[in-house]
Amino acid sequence: MKTLRTALLSASLMTASLMAAAPAVAVNPFVAEYRASVMGGVQADAQMSLAPAGGDRWNYVLSVKSPVATLRQATLFEARNGAWRPLSGNDFTQMLIKKSQKNATYDWAKREARWSGDVKADRMGPVKLQDGDLDGMLLNLAIVRDVAAGRPLNYRMVDNGVARSQSWQNLGRESVTVAGKAHNATKVSRTSDDKQVIVWVVADLPVPARILQRKDGKDELDLVLKSVR
């Protein structure tokens, strides 16, 4: 399975940096619990959390644990003047006996990103950074924010050794259930080659109510929100 950064997250070519123009939005800590279905049916628990890391810095973590896979992704980012920018990230995946560890560093003084660990030589970087760039994890928060603001969902994602522009399509409204209660959600999606990611956003919730990743028309990962505090 591709990493959750790629999963939760790449499509048409656009160079506009939406984050740079975004209005100031308060960043608040949270812990969200999800019910996960991995690899088409294996049940698992997942958690998404946001915690202060001192000053303008925040730790954003997503973890999934199942009998067949353990996935953990974390991003340290800076929130300043309404803009969010990644500073570092790590991505750990264990599928039965196979392990993978990848690390990312976003050096804004040099305006370049680099990767280390279990990465191919052509994915180590450097990749030139631009104002407004996100990594795959921060994209989750940006989508929630921008759906609420009614803004176009156009981004430049710098992750896994490459920079990609992507746009998300608004598919309208659909009901989702969180903690036994039905909510009216905005459904957005992107498709790239054989992959599709669908995200459901509910007003006043800081995280997606549901995230569904598909490959070749088959469900790979399905996260459904159970609670958030």
pLDDT band at 42; cut points 50, 70, 90: confident
pLDDT attached to residue 25 = 59
8-state DSSP, 134: B
pLDDT attached to residue 12 = 27
Percent of the chain with pLDDT over 70: 89
Classify residue 179 as left (phi > 0), alpha (psi -120 to 50) or beta: left
Does residue 8 register a pLDDT over 60? no
Chain segment 156-194, per-residue pLDDT in tens: 999 999 999 999 999 999 999 998 899 999 999 999 888
Q: State pTM to two decimals.
A: 0.84
Poorest-pLDDT segment among 19-33, 71-85, 118-132: 19-33
Poorest-pLDDT segment among 96-100, 118-122, 124-128, 170-174: 96-100
pLDDT attached to residue 3 = 41
- Domain ranges for the chain, please list them: 4-228
- Which CATH architecture does the domain made up of 4-228 adopt? Clam (2.50)
Percent of the chain with pLDDT over 90: 69
Neighbours of 121 (CB within 10 A): 6
Mean per-residue pLDDT, 39-56: 90
Does residue 221 register a pLDDT over 80? yes
Chain segment 73-95, per-residue pLDDT in tens: 999 999 988 889 999 999 998 87
For residue 214, what are the CA distances in angstroms to 89, 153, 221? 24, 20, 7
DSSP 12-75: S-----HHHHPPP-----EEEEEEEEETTTEEEEEEEEEEE-STTEEEEEEEEE-SSEEEEEEE
Mean per-residue pLDDT, 210-223: 90
Classify residue 123 as left (phi > 0), alpha (psi -120 to 50) or beta: alpha
